[in-house]
Amino acid sequence: MRPELTLEVKVDRKAFAVGLLNSETDDKRHWHSMSPEERLAALELARQVIYGYAGTTPRLQRIFEVARLVAG
């Protein structure tokens, strides 16, 4: 088992910006300057901040049981 990591990152969920998709922004230049590995690491960090550290979500509980047929 992996030890739990504690991320002390706070996200301001009220902040956002509106822009044109075809404009060349500093953000776009920044992401294009990174290697694919760096982009994936940043994406994983964002996922952990938003959804938590757990790599998988808990499964649904099993609701069916196998019953033995008793002949007789």
CA distance 60 to 2: 22
Q: pLDDT tens for residues 25-49?
A: 788 888 899 999 999 999 988 888 8
Q: What's the average model confidence in pLDDT over 35-64?
A: 80
Please provide the average confidence, as pLDDT, over all residues in the chain.
Answer: 77
Do 33 and 27 meet the contact criterion of CB atoms below 8 Å apart? no
pLDDT at 1: 43
Helix, strand or coil for residue 18?
coil
pTM score, whole prediction: 0.46
